[in-house]
A and B are shown apart, each in its own frame.
Chain A
Amino acid sequence: MSKRAGIGFYIFLAIFVFLVMFPFIWVFLTSIKPVGEIFTSFSWFTKSPTLSSYEAALTNRPLLRYMLNSFVVSSLTTVLAVGCAAFAAYAVTRLPIKGKGIFLGVVLAASMFPQIAIISPIFNLVTDLGLRNSYIGLVIPYITISLPLSIWVLSTFFHKIPFELEESAKLDGASPFQTFRKIIFPLATPGIFTTAILVFIAAWNEYLFALTINSDDIWRTVPVGISMYQSEFSIPWGDISAATVIVTVPIVILVLLFQKRIVSGLTSGSVKE
């Protein structure tokens, strides 16, 4: 269905983009207002913009520490999950093993398990292992949560690589693992990169496990840390909007840089090609 876009269409688009982005615009505008103005007026633009909310957001709570925690946990998760998933997806799509259907079924079923149903035994397990308030304690559940998605997306990518390549590698005397490492893995790099971005975002956003397992303030991740800005007596909206802007900027950059890859990763599971 290729229709040419008219002026009405562009007006519609502009309104749509504005509505979707409105919360971000408003939060940004709030973050540069003097604190007093937030509670007294609904005017869009302040006459005396200030960065004091940013200063408060960074000093009242260890926001940079939260971001460091999130970054370390998400990066570790991404590397380990994509590694495991690449192995599994390769085996499932290209090696002659039995029980592929069962394996994929188990993985798919695991992706549907609600996290609330597994949180208490994992909490006990992590406590017994002494891994509460650490990076590893979060990384282990995160890897498993992101495995199904990664295996799913990666197997679509692996499937698209021509099968003749392996056969000629075999003829040249390459071992199966060499074929994987030297032929297929490099060719699948775009797919692996795409998967890595999705896993990174998913781990960055996770809330329930981070809330329960890392309860010490210095081990909190960004989503949990942000939700703790509310104090008992008042809600410091200035701090919160500044903190929101700070933690959203990296994600916006990530999205702007890799939007095509993200879309291809998101849709690869849902559309038959």
Chain B
Amino acid sequence: MKKFQLNEKQLGYAMILPSLLLVIVVTLWPVAQSFYNSLFDYRLNDPTRSQKMLNANIDLERYVDNYFYIEGQLSDLEGNAEGDQLEVVQQARETIEGYHQELTTDGEINAKIEQIDEMLMNFEPISDAELKYTEVDNDFASDYRSALENISAEFQSIAEATDNEQLAQSFEQTGSLLAGTSDNILESNFIGFANYIKYFQDQRMWQSLWNTFYFTVVSVGFELVLGLAIALLINRAFKGRGIVRASVLIPWAIPTAVAAMMWGFLYDGQTGIVAHYFEKLNMIPSASWLLSTSDGGMFAIIFADVWKTTPYMALLLLAGLQTIPNALYEASNVDGANKWQQFFKITLPLLKSAILVALLFRTLDAFRVFDLIYVLTGGGPANATESISVYAYITLFSQQNFGAGSVLSVIVFLCVALISFIYVRLIGSDLFAGRTK
């Protein structure tokens, strides 16, 4: 019996399928989703905005429940009120019944209302979102809402003006019931680019973007220069390479959050040894400067980042250096070139692609910085070290504001896309070399 076999092509497609699916579901789709979320006033902690609604909706469960009481209370008021007040009540009743009738002319909605009515009578909980919410026309929703609010306001003012205490109380009760009902009519929370406009005028957003940019340029700059210097120095035969390599890899290998906790201890104004020595050496005004001032905070973060990632940079550049053939240096020695000439004419040009690739990875990593800042300074003091990712995280998960937070994450995404685009243009096709046949 011959087993079913895939040919090479089919096998190839089958083999990339799992990776492709994962990448689409866990990275491409979420980015699109983040963008979509950013167009809504979408807050997890606010029941009227916890769903993304392109159209207006009515929370039928609560609406039906309230409507039952509205009918009863309005007929009670009709029995007790007199003169002008009676007229107001009658008019209110007419208006509300009119809207309710308009709502129930839709057969589907009517069926839903009847079903919910029955379930409420039996005290059954309504957990099916399909049944609970119904989409309605945007204009209808906003008209109905404002009609209910107007009547409610009118009733409240009657309640204040009237002398009959019992009547005043009934008017007030009905008024607040109507106001509550208007909250069951959820207007669409699609707000388009309003969130973006809000953030473009937001001081804190620009501050955090600037902090991120500053952090990225300064720390990556130092890492490149120091990394290159170290790579050049250790690019030779010596004893104990293993120790140097291990000591260089350990800072890279430990979790950033753990490194941040460690540096938090070393920088501490009272017990921190680094802060203490820096103060003794007159490098900083006082030991508490590092974590309690904005300049100090930024310095502390950059210093910790340089400590953690320079070794990685040095390793990447060292690997690049080792691919440069020795013969080039020997030939230039014969031609009488000095060390500087060799560095600028041979080393740097041949190291260009290794430098660019290392810079690409480091720049993107630095721009996305989150854990180092979140753990070490929490973005403080006074948001002076807050990166855009930290700001986005706080908006998303501390304030539970998924709409506005998504705007910030989209901004990070766009910046990162721009940075990668520039680098990829600079590096060109080298990036793919040696991988496809």
Contact = CB atoms under 8 A, between A and B. Distances in A.
A30 B409 contact: no
Interface in B14-56: 15-16, 18-20, 22-23, 25-31, 33-34, 37
A226 B258 contact: yes
A29 to B, nearest CB: 9
A1 B235 contact: yes
Nearest to B403: A120
A17 B243 contact: yes
Interface string B314-331: 011011110110100100
Interface string A223-242: 11011010000010100110
Interface string B383-402: 00000010011001100001
Contacts of A119: 30, 393, 396, 409
Interface stretch (B120-128, B194-202, B268-276): B268-276
Interface residues of B, number: 112
A5 interface: yes
Interface in A203-236: 204-205, 207-208, 212, 222-224, 226-227, 229, 235
Nearest to B414: A117
A13 B244 contact: yes
A23 to B, nearest CB: 5
Q: Main secondary structure on chain B at its contact with chain A?
A: helix
A26 B257 CA distance: 18
Contacts of B370: 115-116, 207-208
Interface string A93-119: 111110011011011111011111111
Nearest to B353: A272
A117 B13 contact: no
Most chain A C-beta atoms within 10 Å of own C-beta, residue among B236, B326, B367, B434: B434
A187 interface: no
Interface string B61-102: 000000000000000000000000000000000000000000
Interface in B392-434: 392-393, 396-397, 402, 405-406, 408-410, 412-413, 416-417, 420, 430-434
B131 interface: no
A26 B266 contact: yes
Interface stretch (A53-61, A188-196, A258-266): A258-266
Contacts, number: 306
A34 interface: no
B255 interface: yes
A117 B34 contact: yes
A87 B409 contact: no
B7 interface: yes
A130 to B, nearest CB: 15
Most chain A C-beta atoms within 10 Å of own C-beta, residue among B29, B37, B261, B276: B261
Contacts of A256: 246
B290 to A, nearest CB: 14
B27 A96 contact: no
Contacts of A267: 315-316, 318-319
Contacts of A263: 245, 249, 315, 319
Nearest to B430: A272
Q: Which 3 A-B pairs give the minimum distances between C-beta atoms?
A: A95-B12, A267-B319, A223-B257
Interface of A: 1-5, 9-10, 12-13, 16-17, 20-21, 23-24, 26-27, 30, 38-39, 42, 84-85, 87-88, 90-97, 100-101, 103-104, 106-110, 112-123, 125, 140-141, 143-144, 147-148, 151-152, 155-156, 159, 175-177, 180, 201, 204-205, 207-208, 212, 222-224, 226-227, 229, 235, 237, 240-241, 244, 247-248, 251-252, 254-256, 259-260, 262-263, 266-267, 269-273
13 contacts: A9-B236, A88-B16, A94-B437, A95-B9, A96-B8, A114-B412, A118-B34, A121-B30, A155-B435, A205-B255, A260-B245, A263-B315, A273-B434
